[in-house]
Amino acid sequence: MPLTGIEIFKLLPKTNCKECGVPTCLAFAMNLAAGKVELGACPYVSEEAKEQLQEASAPPIRQVTIGVGDTALKVGGETVMFRHEKRFENAPGLAILIKDSMEDSEVDARLERFKLEYERVGLTLRPELIAIKDESGDATKFEALVNKVKQNSDGGIILMSNNLDILAAGVKACADRKPLIYAATQDNLDGVAGLAKENSCPVAVKASGLEETADLTTKLSEAGVNDIVIDSGSRTVRQAFEDQVIIRSAALTKKFKPLGFPTITFPSEMTDDPMKEAVIASMFVAKYGGIIVLSDFQGESLFPLLVERLNIYTDPQRPLATTEGIYEIGGPDENSPVLITTNFSLTYFIVSGEIEGSRVPSYLLVMDTEGLSVMTAWAAGKFVADAIAPFVKKSGVMDKVKHNKLIIPGYAAAESGGLEEELPGSEILVGPRDGALIPAYLKAWKP
Ligand code: SF4
């Protein structure tokens, strides 16, 4: 069971030295219990207390890292069944499958498709992993493919084979990239455990059912391998879905350690229909895949999966927000319109996109409303005349233009009178409610 704040407090130095960034050890203990800070933020915890606290504060599902450097992927580390309880921590990695039986041209095409990426709300969405599968039974061929992938991609690598020698050849080629070794089974567990330990790589277990999964993870842990990913072996949609829910629930609510690891799932092995495969993958994005291996990437299925993943793994308590400030769009001058909006990322990107599309150079003033959209911020009293006026004055945006007109969003129309009082000499114009109407509005605008 996790320790309470008071239990954690008893193990802290109680000097209230503030070096962890909060005023007291008690406040730090409370934050640690709530999972808001890392234990490492306090430099004075004794080794003995550290051991107890680390054990108690470790997430019930272990966090496992695949790869190195900026492109390393963290999976697992989850603490809740449902996103509304707190948040999901680490988004599942999406993997493209490349087999050593494929023609060179197909391998090249897949490596190219692995580079698919999309911009959305200021973020770059892209997949992370390449699963390299041995089908040839030829260690030299497998190693050559691993080398090719390594040279042509910065993605994390999953090495897939039942054969220990072939896995060893793959690890030899890319041990510095810390690949995920797939898979340890009842037949090769000792050998794979040795390979993983020698090269400090994470390992996936592949079982036939949950009992065998727990047995394999226990044996791996006893052999000193702790970075484990689990494949319960199910390849029907229903069974695989049930397994994901049972694994998450057993780890979180029953504190059953042998299932306290992230999972790897294979929509690629559940259907031959690309559309169905994407639908199955979307199920695992929601419930509770750690890694999702797809037979191929195509924009029409990859993009929706990336957006679904972004939406589910966004912290519901912290809306995506844009930095407050003046954004100059299209090279505005002293006769350009000035618009104001809130800093909810989606609002910002829609409004700025429409302004850009209008080809009317403009100033867009973005106000920090804690990531709330215009209507929500207005209803919450964060985007009202009393708050907007001092922000407009402080920003100095009206010093950049010769006119005195400020365009507010249509949804904040009720604030226009208040703003004219708070900003004497300004003319407050009410813009459209719908972002799509901004271009027509700006084209008709006169200073
Ligand atoms: Fe207490 Fe450690 Fe924070 Fe200092 S750094 S206040 S000792 S918890």
CB-based contact 320:307 (threshold 8 Å): no
pLDDT band at 348 (very low <50, low <70, confident <90, very high): very high
Q: What is the model's pLDDT at position 55?
A: 72
* Ligand 1 contact, 85 CB (< 6 A): no
Query: Residue 425: which of 378, 387, 389 has the closest Cα?
Result: 389
| List of residues 6+ apart from 305 with CB closer than 8 A | 94, 278, 281, 282, 285, 292
Give the distance (Å) from ligand 1 centre to CA of residue 422. Answer: 45
Determine phi and psi for 344, rounding to 5 degrees: -65, 125
Q: Would the pLDDT of 438 be above 90? A: yes
Least confident of 43-52, 271-280, 413-422: 43-52
* Ligand 1 contact, 25 CB (< 6 A): yes
DSSP string, 374-400: HHHHHHTTSSSHHHHHHHHHHHTGGGG
Least confident of 38-47, 199-208, 249-258, 341-350: 38-47
Least confident of 45-54, 96-105, 189-198: 45-54
* Ligand 1 contact, 18 CB (< 6 A): yes
Mean pLDDT of 424-438: 95
pLDDT band at 1 (very low <50, low <70, confident <90, very high): low
Atom of ligand 1 nearest to the CA of 19: 5
Give the distance (Å) from ligand 1 centre to CA of residue 20. Answer: 5
Burial annotation 149-164 (CB, 10 A radius, 16+ → b, else e): bbeebebbbbbbbeeb
Q: What is the model's pLDDT at position 309?
A: 97
Most confident of 51-65, 275-289, 307-321: 275-289
* Ligand 1 contact, 19 CB (< 6 A): yes
| 124-134: pLDDT as tens digits | 999 999 999 99
Give the distance (Å) from ligand 1 centre to CA of residue 25. Answer: 5
| 124-182: pLDDT as tens digits | 999 999 999 999 999 999 999 999 999 999 999 999 999 999 999 999 999 999 999 99
| List of residues 6+ apart from 91 with CB closer than 8 A | 309, 310, 312, 313
Omega of the bond prior to 183 within 30 degrees of 0, cis?
yes
Tokens of 24: 């007291």
Give the distance (Å) from ligand 1 centre to CA of residue 90. Answer: 28
Give the distance (Å) from ligand 1 centre to CA of residue 43. Answer: 7
Q: What is the model's pLDDT at position 77?
A: 93
| 86-99: pLDDT as tens digits | 889 999 999 999 99
Q: What is the model's pLDDT at position 2?
A: 65
* Ligand 1 contact, 38 CB (< 6 A): no
Give the distance (Å) from ligand 1 centre to CA of residue 392. Answer: 40
| 223-255: pLDDT as tens digits | 999 999 999 999 999 999 999 999 999 999 988
Q: Return d(Cα 311, Cα 123) in angstroms, integer.
A: 12
Q: What is the model's pLDDT at position 319?
A: 76
Residue % of the chain over a pLDDT of 90 = 86
Q: Give the position of tokens 């949804």.
A: 411
Least confident of 27-36, 191-200, 406-415: 27-36
CB-based contact 445:422 (threshold 8 Å): no
Query: Residue 344: which of 324, 364, 327 has the closest Cα?
Result: 324
Residue whose CA lies nearest to ligand 1 atom number 1: 25
CB-based contact 345:119 (threshold 8 Å): no
Q: Please state, rounded to an integer, the average pLDDT across all residues of the chain.
A: 94
Residue % of the chain over a pLDDT of 70 = 99
Q: Return d(Cα 242, Cα 358) in angstroms, integer.
A: 50
Query: Residue 135: which of 169, 103, 110, 102 has the closest Cα?
Result: 102
Q: Return d(Cα 115, Cα 226) in angstroms, integer.
A: 31
Q: Collapsing DSSP states into helix, strand and coil, what is residue 215?
A: helix
Residue whose CA lies nearest to ligand 1 atom number 8: 25
Q: Collapsing DSSP states into helix, strand and coil, what is residue 206?
A: strand
Q: Would the pLDDT of 369 be above 80? A: yes
Q: What is the model's pLDDT at position 373?
A: 93
Q: Would the pLDDT of 103 be above 80? A: yes
pLDDT band at 339 (very low <50, low <70, confident <90, very high): very high
CB-based contact 339:355 (threshold 8 Å): yes
* Ligand 1 contact, 437 CB (< 6 A): no
